[in-house]
Amino acid sequence: MRYGFVIDQNRCIGCHACTVACKEEHSVPVGVFRTWVKYIEKGEFPNSSRHFGVMRCNHCEAAPCVEICPTVALYRRPDGIVDFDNSRCIGCKSCMQACPYDALYIDPNSNTAAKCNFCAHRVELNLEPACVIVCPTRSIIAGDLDDSQSEIGRIVATQKVAVRKPNKGTEPKLFYVGIEGDFLQPTMMEQQASHLWAERAPQSNPHGLEHLRADAKPAPGTARVVYDVAHKQPWGLIPAFYLWTKSIAAGILIVAAILLAMLEPSIQRTAGPLLTVAAPIAALVFLAITTILLIADLHRWDRFYFILTKPNWRSWLVRGTWILIAYGILALAWLACGWFLGGAIPAPLRWATAAAAASSACYSAFLFAQAKGRDLWQSPLFLWHLLVQAIGAGAAATILLTAIAGLTQVMILPLGGREIVHAAEPLLLAAMVVNLLMVLGEVYLTPSSEEVRRAHEILTRGSLRSRFWYGVVLAGALIPMMLIAFSIWHGATDLALDQLAAALALLGAYIFDELWITAGQAVPLS
């Protein structure tokens, strides 16, 4: 048994009865929707036409929201309905990023995720969903797709039907008859500054209006969105800070492990306390900040422990949490050896900690890959970008940590501090060069989809261009690269240039993380 929907847009009159019935049946709050009707218009008066599209959850056979949900709050029932249990939801919003159809929202009353659940409580009583029974033209048909004798089974077998975004591999069970192709691909529709009966909320996908620039006019005949619901960007500044602090926490001990292997024994004795005591302390501090940010971004932060007690092991949120815990334990062991054993960090511990640190930095690439709704984040380079960024952030943080230790005259002699900085300089320079090449490669290599092309456009020529070119490329890469290269070439004994370069490199890394998350969410999903 596989329950699904067929929506016949040839019959739909855009009356919104399905929307109203759904809101009444499920007490859906004002401002959010499980089912909604979208209007588009084509042509110019008097040769214009209006078309309707009913949008909702597709109850996918391979639902990405189920895979990414860390607490099994979303699950696929034996009858094919993708349902949810809000008593397990922690409000992480990952399901909203995973859904290619923009079908999920955060309920403002419960602060948990919600969506169309096929009126499962009615189906269990052999009743049809509320939207089906109120539709005046019977344009919504629900039933068992596996039953060839059912109305929905006959329609799917005998008529031309279409699904939204089949390239995502989600196997949606919402089929359309007679729908305009524009509805199936949001990038074929031009967004408008205002809607049919209302002004568009400025906070609703603010970067999705790039086409309104004077130098980017829509092509003739392009469909115009004239009525839609608000679509917000689920992730804001906190995930960007989370990526940034995590890269510092991971990178510090990766770099410390490398430097301990590079430095001569005599230098290790003078500078060792910085790498064996101060470095793990700094790593643990930034790891703690990362954990606090992760919890703070949850709409139900009081349930954060559900990730550990009710885990979905397919979710990289769960896997990442345990990776961070393992890294924290190894960093504590490193600190204990540095504190109690006079700085003797066993080689197996050093490299095991470095491996855990690299895993901590890189697991987010797999989490972002599970966010199938965002094409920009599917880049195969992102994992390597995170690793290189962590090494650069670790080298920069080590240089700044040396400056702090020198100023406070604790843990380190001036000579040892200079040697650590000089050893960290090549690592920072190499990381910045590779990182910049990756960033430019991302935005200038042939994009994998129209969504990626638009995201790149927003980054390089749209509303984010100033921060990208001046913040990421110039201030965050080119200037610190020149400063470090000058310091290496001239063998400078004044560490001020290195410290300035390190601070700029960290600033550039944060700006990129923020822009990457923003641009990834800027292209409409529905």
In contact, 361 and 246? CB cutoff 8 Å: yes
User: Is-contact 41 88, C-beta < 8 A?
Assistant: no
Helix/strand/coil for 184: helix
Task: Give dist(CA 226, CA 326) in Å, integer.
Answer: 51
Question: Pairing mode, if any, of strands 223-227 and 36-44?
Answer: antiparallel
Tens-digit pLDDT profile for the chain (526 aa)? 899 999 999 999 999 999 999 999 999 999 899 999 999 888 888 888 888 899 999 999 999 999 999 999 999 999 999 999 999 999 999 999 999 999 999 999 999 999 999 999 999 999 999 999 999 999 999 999 999 999 999 999 999 999 999 999 999 999 999 988 888 888 888 877 777 777 766 555 555 544 434 344 555 567 888 888 888 889 989 999 999 999 999 999 999 999 888 876 655 555 568 888 889 999 999 999 999 999 999 999 999 999 999 999 999 999 999 999 999 999 999 999 988 876 678 889 999 999 999 999 999 999 999 999 999 999 989 999 999 999 999 999 999 988 887 655 444 444 456 778 888 899 999 999 999 999 998 888 888 888 999 999 999 999 899 999 999 999 999 999 999 999 888 776 667 888 999 999 999 999 999 999 999 999 888 8
Q: How many residues does the chain have?
A: 526
The two three-digit tokens of residue 430, written as one number: 């190499």
- φ, ψ of residue 439 to 5 degrees: the values are -60, -50
Helix axes 414-444, 237-262, angle to 10 degrees: 130
CATH topology of domain 237-522: Formate dehydrogenase/DMSO reductase fold (1.20.1630)
- The Cα-based distances of 235 to 101, 239, 360 in angstroms read 17, 7, 20
- The reply to whether the predicted model has a pTM over 0.75 is yes
Helix (H) or strand (E) holding 321: helix 316-340
Q: How is residue 34 annotated by DSSP?
A: S
Domain boundary assignment for the chain: 3-227, 237-522
Which of 4, 151, 162 has its CA nearest to residue 80? Answer: 4
Q: Could you list the beta-strand ranges (E) of 145-182.
A: 174-177
User: E strand or H helix at 227, and its extent?
Assistant: strand 223-227
**C-alpha span between 307 and 314 (Å, rounded):** 12
Domain 3-227: give its CATH architecture.
2-Layer Sandwich (3.30)
